[in-house]
Amino acid sequence: MPAFKTLDDLTDIAGKRVLVRVDLNVPVADGKVTDKTRIERVAPTILELSKKGAKVILLAHFGRPKDGPSADLSLSQILSAVNEVLGQKILFATDCIGPDAEQAVSAMKNGEILLLENTRFHKAEEKNDAAFTEALARNGDLFVNDAFSAAHRAHSSTEGLAHHLPAYAGRTMQEELEALEKGLGNPSRPVVAIVGGAKVSSKIDLLQNLVKKVDALVIGGGMANTFIAAQGIDVGKSLCEHDLAETAKAIMTEAKASNCTIVLPVDGVIAREFKAGAANEVVAIDAIPADAMVLDVGPKSIEAVNEWISKASTLVWNGPLGAFEISPFDAATVAAAKHAAAETKAGKLTSVAGGGDTVAALNHAGVADDFSYVSTAGGAFLEWMEGKELPGVSVLSKTA
Ligand code: AMP
């Protein structure tokens, strides 16, 4: 893994102004934070710096502002949730640069925590604009990035600042990078990947990268139908991207060349309606009736997936094996998730999962806490699985 500095390298920081990029893009309904997970994830970094006597200045974006500041995208609405999680009252400035921010920072005492207003209220943030980055940097002596989830974007507060100030990875960023390194960077073999979800079209880069890196690639969910149909099998009314048959074939060919075994479903659970409790039956994958759709992989396929999980030393997982939101089509996802969790708990498996609906699927199976690491990063996690360079991460190692 490329070297990067962490909070362990920050010893004598009492009185230092530390700009900390965090992910506070939490869901809000009726002015109330409905899920505090993201705040909880960055709390250790914030509290550690505060305890060391630093002046902790938080930078974060919130939503996608179009035309500058707006009350509904102000970070002021999440202040009380942040106070609650941190167990102390934090300060707030109504802008992230300029006189408001500068005055608030200069009034800070050692150990205090200040949240600056939504960085995306300035268009320059997303352009990684040099003057804006300099204006941000004026309020800090050091820069800590604890927002892996925003690291796939080269913005002023995620990438630019690392060129202006000594830059460090926060605890959450560090934990995420270490987990990802164990997943695909330098994994213990055999490595098995499970990729499910709705469509091949949104995961072509990911599949192409994985076949080069893993020993076996389990393909489930709606996207498996595209691979099955590409082999000339009728998938009836199943979700299927027939126009991607050639892409699916090319991925199979690439897998063969890279010694990666592709594991496709051999049976499926079919229904005629996409709804919970719909009448269903198990059929062999080459016996799907023309008026039915596959909504989950079948029991024989689950057995095969679980055998691969048992053989694996490392598992990387993105996307559900079936339409897990509607029972009973959650069976395969739940069974495989439980098996992976048990293998992990037994010390036989390193399991890394993330992206899109995967966290929801693992929570639904009740095993998210039993995986080695579950990333809530979404887009950044997917780009990592695609083998892309994440600018917010690479700048930490380039400037280390
Ligand atoms: P993604 O966001 O690409 O990971 O896709 C997740 C979605 O794929 C979930 O909402 C699942 O319900 C859906 N899904 C998984 N398997 C199937 C299937 N066989 N048919 C239709 N939708 C599916």
Concatenated DSSP letters of 306-349: HHHHHH-SEEEEES-SS-TTSTTTTHHHHHHHHHHHHHHHTTS-
Give residue-wise pLDDT tens across range 9-29. 998 999 999 999 999 999 999
Atom of ligand 1 nearest to the CA of 268: 19
The tens digit of pLDDT for each residue in 67-84 reads 899 999 999 999 999 999
Q: Does 356 contact ligand 1 (Cβ within 6 A)?
A: yes
Output the pLDDT for position 356.
75
For ligand 1, whether the C-beta of 192 sits within 6 Å is: no
- What is the CATH number for 54? 3.40.50.1260
Instruction: Report the percent of the chain where pLDDT is more than 70.
Output: 100
In this prediction the pTM is 0.93
pLDDT at residue 2 tops 90: no
Residues 347 and 241 in one domain: yes
Best substitution site from 324, 333, 358, 386 to test ligand 1's pocket, by max atoms within 8 Å of Cβ?
A: 324
Which amino acid appears at position 336 of this protein?
A: A
Ligand 1 contacts CB of residue 370 (under 6 A) = no
Q: Is 35 part of any domain?
A: yes
- Residue 207 Cβ < 6 Å to ligand 1: no
Q: Is the CB of 378 under 6 A from ligand 1?
A: no
Section 51-79 average pLDDT: 96
Distance in Å, CA 196 to ligand 1 centroid:
7
Please give the average per-residue pLDDT across 360-382, as a whole number: 94
Q: What is the mean pLDDT of residues 36-64?
A: 97
> In the predicted model, is pLDDT for residue 400 greater than 80?
no
What are the catalytic residues?
38, 199, 356, 379
> Are residues 165 and 217 both part of a single domain?
no
Closest CA to 133 of 151, 169, 159, 152: 159
Q: Are residues 92 and 128 in the same domain?
A: yes
Indicate if the pLDDT at residue 368 is higher than 80: yes
Percent of the chain with pLDDT over 90: 95
331-360 per-position pLDDT tens digit = 999 999 999 999 999 999 999 999 878 999
254 and 279 in a single domain? The answer is yes
Owning domain of residue 59: 7-172+393-398
Point out the ligand 1 atom lying closest to the alpha carbon of residue 220.
Answer: 16
Q: Is residue 261's pLDDT more than 70?
A: yes
Q: Is 323 in the pocket of ligand 1 (CB under 6 A)?
A: yes
The ligand 1 atom at the shortest distance from the C-alpha of residue 274 is: 21
Give SS3 for 193: strand
Which residues are bridge partners to 6 per DSSP?
Answer: 169
Give residue 323 CA to ligand 1 midpoint distance, Å. 5
If one residue of 288, 295, 318, 363 were mutated to test the ligand 1 pocket, choosing by the most ligand atoms within 8 A of its CB, it would be 295
The answer to whether 215 touches 192, Cβ cutoff 8 Å, is yes
Number of domains in the chain: 2
- 124 CB under 6 A from ligand 1? no
Task: State whether 167 and 316 are in the same domain.
Answer: no
- In a domain? residue 195: yes
Nearest CA to ligand 1 atom 5: 197
Q: Is the domain of 304 the same as that of 191?
A: yes
Q: Is the CB of 202 under 6 A from ligand 1?
A: yes
What is the C-alpha to C-alpha distance for residues 79 and 68, in angstroms, rounded to an integer?
Answer: 20
Residues 127 and 237 in one domain: no
Pull the structure tokens for residue 233. 């099998």
For atom 1 of ligand 1, which residue has the closest CA? Answer: 197
375 found inside a domain: no
Taking the CA atoms of residue 102, residue 108, residue 114 and residue 116 in that order, the dihedral angle to the nearest 10 degrees is 0
Ligand 1 atom at minimal distance to the Cα of residue 238: 20
Say which range, 87-96, 105-114, 249-258, 378-387, has the weakest mean pLDDT.
Answer: 378-387
Bridge partner list, 20:
58, 144
Torsion (CA) 185, 188, 192, 194 in degrees, nearest 10: -50
Please indicate, yes or no, whether residues 207 and 114 belong to a single structural domain of this protein.
no
User: Who wins on pLDDT, 162 or 31?
Assistant: 162
Helix%, strand%, coil% for the chain, nearest 5: 45, 15, 40
Please write the tens of the pLDDT for every residue from 131-190: 999 999 999 999 999 999 999 999 999 999 999 999 999 999 999 999 999 999 999 999
Q: 109 and 233, same structural domain?
A: no
Cα distance between residue 111 and residue 14, in whole Å: 8
Summarize pLDDT for 298-328 with one digit per residue, the tens. 999 999 999 999 999 999 999 999 999 999 9
The pLDDT of residue 378: 86
DSSP letter at 57 equals E
